[in-house]
Amino acid sequence: MKQNGTLLNTQVPKDDETCITPKNTITSPIKKDDFSISNEEKIRIITHHFKEIMDVLGLDLNNDSLKETPKRVAKMYVNEIFSGLNPKNKPEITLFDNEFNYTEPLIEKNIPFTSFCEHHFVPIQGIANVAYIPSNKVIGLSKIHRVVDYFSKRPQVQERLTLQIQNELKTILKTDDVGVVIKASHSCISCRGIDHQGSYTITSFLPKSFKSSTDIMTCLNTFK
Ligand SMILES: [Zn+2]
């Protein structure tokens, strides 16, 4: 994980949601048969193992405040914070005709997200700025948020998250003119290890067409 720096363009291969990650792709490392068991079964198994973790740590699982924690954590993993691992949760996107022939950039800014560092399983909290230049179709604004949300809700590294959002929108909108800039703070930097609060990491993936426009670049690189 490159911290506190800016990631610039790299080649983007296709994202195949269900394959084991080949090296140098933007696919999340998800097992091929990961969805052969139900969410209920996953919750049951994770509850069991989390109980063991708490027990090994020396916690009293008969304590009123703690006894439901394993199940609570398991449900949170499967149904909430890692729900973006399941392709069934990928947002349905409806496009609209570009009836105004709008061909200038549309910039959606300050999209908040919470993801989780895949190395430490602690939060990555940040903001995404997304821009695209429409071709024949336009996308509902909330759908851009939903794409950010879907790829955030899985164990991640920020570079991959940036590329996955950009690649997904490019595929949906059938245009290369999509740019994503993310600014995020990593709890693995602020609450452990070096223990530094206040730093953040910026990653970007921008098409050539945006790099030649100072206006777009300024807008994309400005956060609230
Ligand atoms: Zn980390």
**199 CA → ligand 1 middle, Å:** 14
52 pLDDT tier (thresholds 50, 70, 90): very high
Percent with pLDDT over 70 in the chain: 89
Q: Between β-strands 201-205 and 6-7, what pairing exists: parallel, antiparallel or unpaired?
A: parallel
**pLDDT computed for residue 24 by the predictor:** 61
- Which among 207, 210, 121, 204 has a CA at the least distance from the CA of 161? 204
Q: Catalytic site residue 48?
A: no
180 pLDDT tier (thresholds 50, 70, 90): very high
**pLDDT computed for residue 3 by the predictor:** 41
**117 CA → ligand 1 middle, Å:** 5
Give the lowest-confidence range in 13-27, 85-99, 184-198: 13-27
**196 CA → ligand 1 middle, Å:** 13
33 pLDDT tier (thresholds 50, 70, 90): confident
32 pLDDT tier (thresholds 50, 70, 90): confident
pLDDT above 70: residue 16: no
Cβ neighbors of 72 (< 8 A, separation 6 or more) are: none
Determine the CATH number of domain 94-220.
3.30.1130.10
**pLDDT computed for residue 5 by the predictor:** 39
Task: Indicate which residue of 48, 49, 119, 196 is catalytic.
Answer: 119
> What tokens appear for 65 in the block?
């405040």
**190 CA → ligand 1 middle, Å:** 10
CATH 3.30.1130.10 occupies which residues in the chain?
Answer: 94-220
pLDDT above 50: residue 140: yes
Mean pLDDT of 178-197: 95
**pLDDT computed for residue 57 by the predictor:** 98
**166 CA → ligand 1 middle, Å:** 22
Task: Indicate which residue of 118, 125, 145, 219 is catalytic.
Answer: 118
Cβ neighbors of 62 (< 8 A, separation 6 or more) are: none
The dihedral over CA atoms of 72, 160, 126, 9, expressed in degrees to the nearest 10, equals 180
- Which among 178, 134, 186 has a CA at the least distance from the CA of 159? 186
**pLDDT computed for residue 10 by the predictor:** 41
23 pLDDT tier (thresholds 50, 70, 90): low
Q: Catalytic site residue 118?
A: yes
Task: Indicate which residue of 120, 125, 145, 219 is catalytic.
Answer: 120
SS3 156: strand
Domain 35-87 bears CATH identifier 1.10.10.10: no
**186 CA → ligand 1 middle, Å:** 7
CATH 1.10.286.10 occupies which residues in the chain?
Answer: 35-87
pLDDT above 50: residue 9: no
